[in-house]
Structure 1
């Protein structure tokens, strides 16, 4: 495994200082011989620089200053103390004898014989030798101090950052750089009290520790990357992230157009997901499928037509029956309708429902009417409308089943199926009689209608305005507490992860994993999540809103809130405790004109009444 350096750090006899790297054995004093590191002042030492030498260095200084760089002035000086590198173990040093004669006579030499000495070795002027940059094998290189292309202080990434704690890594790297600065200062025989040079004094033991740390850092393995995209994906998918966080990372890559990175993250997440595992594993599996539909819609088409199919309608109805938060939402709507007819005896109730489904909600309403005391021969009329999932024939079958149940409990029952445009709604077309109490039920229906953000027709507000003209005694609204209408892609992904994660988790409390309907129900939920995340425009059918926005929309359509009585909340709480054996994860609470049903602190549905 590459250590990030070209060979071992010292075996080649090279040492890198602040921005100086020497890889030529002829320019290295013998590190293994301590005696070679102490040299008395030589009698032939030139104490002052010659005019030619001064002019040469002055020209170099002017060139460096023209580039906005600062070249430190190096002065010859006698060393009476051991070199700070002496603590280096001889195991890592090389016995390299300098050989001045090996320098080629063809080198460019100054006309002035200005050759100074340091540590008993001749130091060549820049015109005499042109050192080459040192390549460390990991894409980084250091240009020596006296190289013509030297452009100021520049360090490669000597300390590998992969896998290092960022908070402590920066501090260690700063400390290392300060020590390297001081080493260069010692190697260059610089003045310790030069102005502007704030390098702290480092002891020999500290230098030994520094070098040992450098050696240790070179021995850490660095994971190779095959391409820049894989490197980016590695940083975008740290192993410490949870599956939900990784889903958000994948969505971020999708929003930034980095489809390759997103695909790699989703491939890894696919190994974590399991539709028969924990709630988190199930959510991961279905959200990976949803995001793949966003990345490659041609290979993984997002669900659109499937939301109008019979299978989806069946799985949705099954979900409504097993989830307390949704089942109690229907019951809250029924209780609001019963409250609107509490003063009428006998009760003649006419309910207009724009999405009756399989009629499960009205099984409960029929029994509630029959149980009302002092009400002889109550009647119930239901008017519904055909749609993509339920044609007229299927709806008539639903009506027959409801009628059979009503007859058993002594309820007069009528069922009508109409096919009308929204603009054709009227009391006459609906067949509303004078002595009937009219109630309109919007249970999980309004969110499927496009609003002004999709089309200028704005079917959502148009339907509400038409219903307002009917002057119903009560309008019930039951919706999912989820912001997925006008929210941007990233916000919808975050919302879907949080919302459906809570839904999958709540199912563990009501449906066993061995139940054969479990996967069927959750596949229906996955279609809803995928449509919310992967589709835009008219193809996005799942356009849920939070209760605050429904409250504003209902107010603009001319409706006023009709708060449910505390008795309703108490009744629903009693039903919840009896149906879930008192599971504390489920909650019922009345807030701001609605009744909220949730799981583990997350509100899933809200029921409200209007007039």
Structure 2
């Protein structure tokens, strides 16, 4: 199926409408959207290729036929579910995909902020602060008493927020978090910064610089949970024409160097361990296919077919696949980079890896015990890696200047 998809992508890129249409027809027949995990994965890539083909060159001529094929292949255009805060909290608890990063990061944060009476956490996260209640709970139990917590959440401004989507404003979310913190005797301030990854989160950096001028003796923690990969980047050049930069400038490296200049107490980077940065769509397709089988495989272990949550879960994966395959330029935000590449970027920016202690490892292992047996944990030098059936899924790293 991967080979057929790759051939189809090549045909679309070559504007070979006849071959592309033949391959799409074959794929549609062998990959029903309600089939096994591999068939559902292939069906999602089929929809993404149809979306790409309908936008490009001579392949536009079969857009209507492709649309008919897509109609039988389920609808990604089923609007993504917008979660209430309670729904989202329950949803992320279904799998270690996000909980792994929460557990590892919270352990590192608690250790790094020991002795500080005021902590400023900047949450660059795709899951809308769902990590924070657990951190607040842990801070409330500090032997020296709870600190003052300043929480800054980052909301994406350009309409390209990856799923899951939240059905409330960040202001309302912040009010709920402040009330929760009060119930745990943690004095808390909340603010939101509306920013965009397309300019390297420059608004976040600008406001943090201003904040640094007035904050004294405050621990600054920058918690990056699966959002840094939304900053534009490709393995062969950047978007000089789109953002007015020369091709040799990396927005990701610029962001990290600017972050380093703020002298943060701790930076955590948690992300998916894959590489979707190739400018070549066939290479991206192969990389994505060989990584995104994992969520389709895992879902069979914790959600029954036909359930609403499973529909939401697979729609989110489908959105990611379509973004990787069908979108280009500023619209393509799913630009994952490998753990090793992020580590090199951090070192180049003037950070050193902190590593995770035995307490953090025990915390993560305890969390994994609540899930199916396919999940695992491995230590890779200073990093922790979540695995599924031995394959890397998500990595967690912690860094200090």
TM > 0.5 fold call: yes
Q: Decide whether aligned partners of structure 1 residues 356 and 292 sit closer, same or farther in structure 2, where only a CA change above 3 A counts.
A: closer
- Structure 2 counterpart of 1:424: 206
- What aligned pairs does 1:172-571 form with structure 2 within 5 A after superposition? 243-297=1-55, 299=63, 311=80, 314=83, 320-342=92-114, 344=115, 347-355=117-125, 357-372=127-142, 374-388=143-157, 394-419=169-194, 421=203, 424-429=206-211, 433-451=215-233, 453-455=238-240, 456=245, 458-486=250-278, 488-571=280-363
Distance 2:279 2:382 in 1: 24
Distance 1:538 1:313 in 2: 23
Give the secondary-structure state (helix, strand or coil) at the position aligned to 2:352: coil
CA contact (8 A) 1:438 1:474 kept: yes
Question: C-alpha deviations, 1:151-205, integer Å up to 9, x for none?
Answer: xxxxxxxxxxxxxxxxxxxxxxxxxxxxxxxxxxxxxxxxxxxxxxxxxxxxxxx
By how many angstroms is 1:422 displaced?
A: 5.1
TM-score (norm 2): 0.80
Which has more radius of gyration?
Answer: 1
Q: Decide whether aligned partners of structure 1 residues 502 and 426 sit closer, same or farther in structure 2, where only a CA change above 3 A counts.
A: closer
Distance 1:324 1:432 in 2: 38
Say which of 360, 376, 387 aligns to 1:598: 387
Distance 2:183 2:205 in 1: 37
By how many angstroms is 1:529 displaced?
A: 0.9
CA contact (8 A) 1:275 1:519 kept: no
Number of residues of Structure 1 aligned to a counterpart in Structure 2: 356
TM-score (norm 1): 0.54
By how many angstroms is 1:479 displaced?
A: 1.0
Distance 2:373 2:154 in 1: 39
Distance 2:15 2:52 in 1: 11
Which consecutive residues of structure 1, in runs of 5 or more, have no partner in the other structure? 1-242, 302-306
Q: Which has the higher contact order (CA 8 A, sep 6+)?
A: 2
Give the secondary-structure state (helix, strand or coil) at the position aligned to 1:434: coil
- Supply the RMSD in Å over aligned alpha carbons: 2.9
Distance 1:281 1:376 in 2: 53
By how many angstroms is 1:431 displaced?
A: 7.3
Q: Decide whether aligned partners of structure 1 residues 401 and 432 sit closer, same or farther in structure 2, where only a CA change above 3 A counts.
A: farther
Q: Decide whether aligned partners of structure 1 residues 422 and 352 sit closer, same or farther in structure 2, where only a CA change above 3 A counts.
A: closer
| Greater strand fraction, Structure 1 or Structure 2 | 2
Distance 1:287 1:499 in 2: 13
Verify: 1:575 aligned to 2:367, yes or no.
Answer: yes
